[in-house]
Amino acid sequence: MILLRRLLGDVLRRQRQRQGRTLREVSSSARVSLGYLSEVERGQKEASSELLAAICDALDLRMSELLREVSDELALAELAQSAASDTVPPPMRPMLNPVRVTSVTSRPDSVTIKAPAEAVDVVAA
- Note whether 9 and 40 are within 8 A (CB): yes
Q: Give the pLDDT of residue 49.
A: 94
Q: Give the pLDDT of residue 93.
A: 61
* Residue of higher predicted confidence among 122 and 74: 74
Q: Give the pLDDT of residue 85.
A: 76
E-state strands within 61-108 = 103-107
| pLDDT tens, position by position, 67-115 | 999 999 999 888 888 877 766 566 666 555 555 655 666 666 666 665 5
- Note whether 40 and 51 are within 8 A (CB): yes
| pLDDT tens, position by position, 6-52 | 999 999 999 999 999 999 999 999 999 999 999 999 999 999 999 99
Q: Which of 110, 92, 111 is nearest to 101 (CA)?
A: 111
State phi, psi for 48 to the nearest 5 degrees: -70, 165
Q: Which of 12, 9, 15 is nearest to 43 (CA)?
A: 9
Q: How confident is the model at residue 125 (pLDDT cuts 50, 70, 90)?
A: very low
Instruction: Tell me the whole-structure pTM to 2 decimals.
Output: 0.67
Average pLDDT of 54-59?
97
Residue 123: alpha-carbon gap to chain centroid: 20
- Note whether 23 and 37 are within 8 A (CB): yes
